[in-house]
Amino acid sequence: MLNKKRKEIKFDPKEIANSNRIYKSATPKQDLSWYVKWAASLFILVGMSIRGVEGLQFYDLLMSLIGVSGWLIVGLLWKDRALILLNGIGLALLFRTFAQTLTSF
């Protein structure tokens, strides 16, 4: 059935479950974790884009801290141990560098 409002095709749940051609996302859509993961990804990309620019290292660190914190929250919401481990350690390492940067001013 075609939903005229969003122009999306709606499939029967049985058809989705038994199809190899219909794309099925494994992650939740449009809940809290969806918004946090996209915002966190944006922060990480901004940090990465300014990483090599002289004088913007502090902002790179700040953007990366926010992004990794967001992904840690997503890992906790999803109860995904790999995301929790990766981003928990990443957050600790970034926070250590952030603290060293603040003490050097």
Residue 69 lies inside a defined structural domain of this protein: yes
Residue 84 lies inside a defined structural domain of this protein: yes
Question: How far, in Å, CA of 19 to CA of 12, rounded?
Answer: 11
Phi, psi of 8 (to 5 degrees): -115, 150
Residue 16 lies inside a defined structural domain of this protein: no
Residue 83 lies inside a defined structural domain of this protein: yes
Residue 63 lies inside a defined structural domain of this protein: yes
pLDDT digits (tens, 9 = 90+) for 14-48: 777 777 676 666 677 889 999 999 999 999 999 99
What percentage of the chain reaches a pLDDT higher than 90?
Answer: 67
Domain count, the chain: 1
Residue 50 lies inside a defined structural domain of this protein: yes
**Containing H/E element for 46?**
helix 32-49
pLDDT digits (tens, 9 = 90+) for 51-75: 999 999 999 999 999 999 999 999 9
Q: pTM (2 decimals)?
A: 0.75
The domain of 74 spans 26-103
